[in-house]
Amino acid sequence: MAVITIIGSGMMGSALAFPARENGHEVRLVGTHLDKDIISACKKTDTHPKFDRPFPAGVKYYYLEEVDEAIIGCDFVICGVSSFGVEWFAENILPRIPESTPVLSVTKGLFDLPDGGFMTYPDYWKTEAKKRGRVLNINAIGGPCTSYELVAHDHSCVTFCGDDPKTLEFLRACMKTEYYHISLSTDVLGIETAVALKNGYALGVALSIGANRKAFGDETLHYNSQAGLFGQGVKEMRELLKMIAGSDATLPVGAGDLYVTVYGGRTRLVGILLGEGLSIDEALNKLKGVTLESLVIAKRVNAALLRRYSQETLAEKFPLLAHVAKLISGEKAPIPWDQFITDTL
């Protein structure tokens, strides 16, 4: 039996308590400074406020003030914070984790760099740890998996990525179940880039849902336009993966994640509202309290690419990404369908 400590009791971090505990491991779920009410509810009911079923019996709950107690003796730490908590995790949690204890992160995203490049969150955390003279074994989870469907035991296929194959094998052995299927990869940059890029493109695909709702009503389904934008998104993701990671081998992981994000999640909501014609401010006002990491990722990717290309070249090479960036910067514009045409004569 392993001891697994999860830092961050948001939906995805908490969902991983299910396969971990069902495998017979000791699971310690720790709330961040934002999660006090969640942990209080879990202590009282053994159920996360956003889930419709209780945790497996035996999960232990900790407030942030008890984090040191929760980390002592654990075999690995799962980072369950959102992309808005990446710096907080580096400053407040990483210094508490022994160098011998692996970290497995569910946080998806990229930092844009001044030279037009990108840095993954695992690399950022390693860099921050190195500044303190420490070397940490940081791994990450990528792939199509929503928290509520993982809790429901829907079959989910993900990829654990990291530098050390033996660590990845250990993490998989602890977490795999009959419904949680885990592939392994040492291509951290490729996996992390693929699953980060899908955020902005999922928003882009959802634009067509909103546009069609406005034109035809809520009950009318239009898949041609969604498929068109999905195909354009995958095309642009492939080119970005070649540029950033040097290969498009991890495209299936990103495409799968794109699919599940289009059909469920918060990114879908803001994309629909923008597609209906709302401005980004109007959409965010309507979705008060909803964490939207997709906006952060789209802005960072666009900012990095603008350090490489002019606005005109960017719009030509990555028209859907450029359109999403335009919308989230406050502009209103129709979907640029003609810019997606490709001739291969």
For 158-197, what is each residue's pLDDT tens digit?
A: 999 999 999 999 999 999 999 999 999 999 999 999 999 9
Are 194 and 142 a contacting pair, CB within 8 Å? yes
Instruction: Label the pairing between strands 156-161 and 180-185.
Output: parallel
Are 38 and 64 a contacting pair, CB within 8 Å? no
pLDDT, residue 292, reads 77
pLDDT, residue 297, reads 86
Q: Encode burial over 107-130: b for 16+ CB neighbours within 10 A, e otherwise.
A: bbbbbbeeeeebbbbbbbbbebbe
- The one-character DSSP state at 252 is H
3-state secondary structure of 74: coil
* pLDDT tens profile 121-157: 999 999 999 999 999 999 999 999 999 999 999 999 9
Give the residue range(s) of CATH 3.40.50.720 domains in the chain. Answer: 3-186
Are 158 and 180 a contacting pair, CB within 8 Å? yes
Strand order in the sheet with 180-185: 60-62, 26-30, 3-7, 76-79, 103-105, 138-142, 156-161, 180-185
| pLDDT > 90: percent of the chain | 86
Q: Report the mean per-residue pLDDT for the chain.
A: 94
pLDDT, residue 291, reads 64
The DSSP line for 131-168 is HTT----EEEEESS--HHHHHTT--EEEEEE-S-HHHH
* pLDDT tens profile 47-89: 999 999 999 999 999 999 999 999 999 999 999 999 899 999 9
pLDDT, residue 290, reads 67
**36 has a pLDDT exceeding 80:** yes
CA dihedral 268, 269, 273, 274 (to 10 degrees): -40
pLDDT, residue 136, reads 97
Confidence tier at 264 by pLDDT (50, 70, 90): confident
We find that the CATH architecture of domain 196-340 is Orthogonal Bundle (1.10)
Q: How far is CA 23 from CA 13, 53, 79, 154, 235, in A?
A: 16, 18, 19, 16, 39
Going through the chain in order, the beta strands assigned E by DSSP cover: 3-7, 26-30, 60-62, 76-79, 103-105, 110-112, 118-120, 138-142, 156-161, 180-185
Which option is the CATH number for 3-186: 3.40.50.720, 3.40.50.300, 3.20.20.10, 3.30.565.10?
A: 3.40.50.720
- Secondary structure string (H, E, C) spanning 193-238: HHHHHHHHHHHHHHHHHHHHHHHHCCCCCCHHHHHHHHHHHHHHHH
Q: Supply 323's token pair.
A: 């359109």
Give the residue range(s) of CATH 1.10.1040.10 domains in the chain. Answer: 196-340
pLDDT, residue 294, reads 80
pLDDT, residue 220, reads 73
**221 has a pLDDT exceeding 80:** no
* pLDDT tens profile 275-328: 999 999 999 888 876 667 788 888 899 999 999 999 999 999 999 999 999 999
Q: How far is CA 85 from CA 11, 91, 105, 125, 129, in A?
A: 14, 10, 12, 12, 16
Q: Amino acid letter at 114? A: P
- The pTM for the full model equals 0.94
Q: Amino acid letter at 319? A: P
The position carrying tokens 């505990």 is: 21
Partners of residue 27 on adjacent β-strands: 4
**265 has a pLDDT exceeding 80:** no
Confidence tier at 30 by pLDDT (50, 70, 90): very high
